[in-house]
Amino acid sequence: MNTKIKDIESEIQALRIKDILDSHDIPHIIKSFHDSAYDGLFQNQYGWGVLEADEKSKEEILELLKDISPEN
């Protein structure tokens, strides 16, 4: 079951995260909060989106992403 690993601040960050995790063959889901019906209202409130993956991969993912997300 997937769990939230981290918040994503922008589409650029989402693309960087995707490239890193794909290159390490780590299954993940990147969910954008954008909804065209509400013209991006939820992105303004909640941020760009979220990274989800299996809980057992969380530490490995955060280690791989520490260079682009030093706060985690």
DSSP character string of 19-38: HHHHHTT---EEEE---GGG
Alpha-carbon gap, residue 26 to 53, rounded angstroms? 8
pLDDT digits (tens, 9 = 90+) for 57-68: 999 999 999 987
3-state DSSP assignment of residue 9: coil
Nearest C-alpha neighbor of 60 from the set 26, 17, 14: 26
Q: Please give the helix or strand (H or E) that residue 2 lies within, else none.
A: strand 2-8
Instruction: For residue range 7-58, list pLDDT tens digits in order.
Output: 998 899 999 999 999 999 999 999 998 766 666 565 666 678 999 999 999 9
pTM as predicted:
0.80
Tell me which DSSP letter residue 34 carries: -
Predicted confidence at residue 72, as pLDDT, reads 47
Q: Which domains does the chain have, with CATH numbers?
A: 2-65 (3.30.70)
